[in-house]
Amino acid sequence: MDYYGPMSRIPRILCLTLLSACMGVSALAASSKSDKPDNSNLDGRLFYEILVGEILARTGDKGPAYANLLDAARRSNSQQLYERAVEIAYSARSGEWALEAAQSWSQAFPSSREANRLQLQILLGLNRVAETQEPLKRELAASSPTERVATIQLLPRYFANATDKKLAVSVVEKVLAPEITNRTTGPTAWAAIGALRLQADDLNGAMEAARRGAALDPQADSPVLLAIALIGPKAPTAETMVERYLAGKPNVDVRMAYGRYLVNAQRYPDAYTQMRLLTEEHPQFPEAWLLRGSLELQDSKLAQAESSFKTYVGLYPPSADDATGADMNRGMVQAYLLLSQVAELSQRLDEALVYLDKINSPTDALRVERRRASILVRQGHLEQARAGIRNVPELQASDALAKVNAEVALLRDNRLYAEAYQVLQAARARYPMTSTSCMTWP
């Protein structure tokens, strides 16, 4: 065995690693000086500590690697080394290590918002809700008024996975105490508090928060969006509050949100009224036209539905992405599917196929092909319809069975039961381990 061949490569690898570390240390030192005066020299010991830490990290020895890099960060006062220590802690799946590094970073650089945000993120991930109060206060204090509103809006999402919802409410109420009387940030603060109370199943408290937010600024949309989420028998005044707001000059997002609520509540005439008003007030708002058209189609108003869908499509002019074959956005896919449905219902079958040809969305390929197949069958092209389903590209393992089910459904709907049974038998032979419950049959 030739020992010297393989071993001769080790010095070269070590030299390359050493050179990489030297360059890294120089960059770290320069960056550190730009953030805060560097009180420790990059001496041989520090350099060696960084080098060993990186080698250990590359070889998978995460514990010693983390310890070396965190010690180097503290001695060099380098933000980049603190960040590197957090990265190693993440790769080791140790939340406690990551928290230690982030806290050390934040203590060394109190004005670093990145360090503070990282500390907050880790605390939330560890479900240490009570400890998030101070990082949240620091984040809000460092924010501009616009940033502060955006941060407050995100608070309910931050605490969505907290196991102790009531504790989350308590923490956020303390953090937002300075904001709830401010006319600029107060409505958003009350809406965030209300959303957290709703997560904690405190509907009365959530409604009270919505009222207090609206009282600060009757034109603010955040409290009204909260009220929409509260509409129901247990909050009888919520919808009155929404209607009062909509009687003024409402934000488009609020009227749209209320319209979606009405659709989900199956209050279709009321939803249509809201979409008609929204398209009249803001004719350039696409989503309202799509929902309006869907409601018109449901009510068999084919001409009006077609007009609404075409207006929606017209508000999205062709872009460079269309020429490169990029996936179509979800709304456009839905609009073309619905236009195809309108054309089919109007007995314009060739036009219905043209709309389907406009759709470019691999994730919707089978859905589109099923629609195309149903039209082709009506035109007497059964085999072409079946071939189209079979030729849909399979993006994941379950797509093969989905195609089988689509073909079986097509044959079944056209009373071709013998052919459908043959497709099922062939599928069972091809996928013997698949449960028959995964395959449809009349």
Q: Where are the domains of the chain?
A: 13-126, 153-250
pLDDT digits (tens, 9 = 90+) for 337-385: 999 999 999 999 999 999 999 999 999 999 999 999 999 999 999 999 9
pLDDT at residue 17, as a whole number:
40
CB atoms < 10 A from the CB of 372, how many?
21
Give the C-alpha separation, 360 to 300, whole Å.
Answer: 27
Considering Cα of 369, then 371, then 375, then 378, what sign does the dihedral take? positive
| CATH dotted code for 13-126 | 1.25.40.10
Give pLDDT tens digits for 19-63.
444 444 444 444 444 444 444 445 678 887 888 888 888 988 899
**Burial class (CB within 10 angstroms; exposed 0-12, middle 13-18, buried 19+) of 324:** exposed
Q: Give me the residues of the chain with pLDDT under 50, please.
A: 1-41, 436-437, 442
pLDDT, position 52? 86
pLDDT of 292 reads 98
Topology match between the domains 13-126 and 153-250: yes
Domain 153-250 has CATH 1.10.1200.10: no
Which amino acid, residue 363? T
Task: Kindly state the tokens that stand for 289.
Answer: 């036209």
pLDDT, residue 435, reads: 53
Q: What is the pLDDT of residue 44?
A: 76
What is residue 434's predicted lDDT score, i.e. its pLDDT? 58
